[in-house]
């Protein structure tokens, strides 16, 4: 019944080896020194995007805020 999942099945081993080889082939270019340098260069030259809403500088000004009445 579960003959396809048997560890002694050569078809399963062959499919696993082929899948590993394909994954290795596609990922090997990602880890080269040139690729790492290219990603680092692209990252350092990207435009800065800031979505922060509000002032960039906080001034030390005492602003009187209305006190909230707490109900007990």
Predicted local distance difference test score (pLDDT) of residue 36: 85
Q: Determine the Cα–Cα distance for residues 56 and 48; give it in Å rounded to an integer.
A: 15
Q: Which residues touch 4 (CB under 8 Å, ≥6 apart)?
A: 11, 12
Split at pLDDT 50, 70, 90, the class of 20 is: very high
pLDDT of 67 higher than 80? no
Return the ∠ at Cα 54 (arms to 49 and 59), rounded to 5°.
125
Split at pLDDT 50, 70, 90, the class of 1 is: very low
pTM over 0.75: no
Q: In this structure, what is the dihedral angle of CA atoms 9, 11, 13, 19, given to the nearest 10 degrees?
A: -150
pLDDT of 53 higher than 80? no
Predicted local distance difference test score (pLDDT) of residue 52: 67
């Amino acid at each position: 019944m579960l003959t396809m999942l048997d560890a002694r099945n050569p078809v399963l081993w062959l499919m696993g080896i082929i899948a590993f080889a394909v994954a290795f082939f596609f990922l090997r270019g990602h880890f080269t020194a040139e690729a790492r340098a290219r990603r680092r260069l692209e990252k350092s030259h990207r435009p800065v995007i800031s979505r922060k809403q509000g002032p960039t500088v906080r001034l030390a000004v005492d602003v009187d805020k209305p006190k909230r009445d707490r109900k007990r």
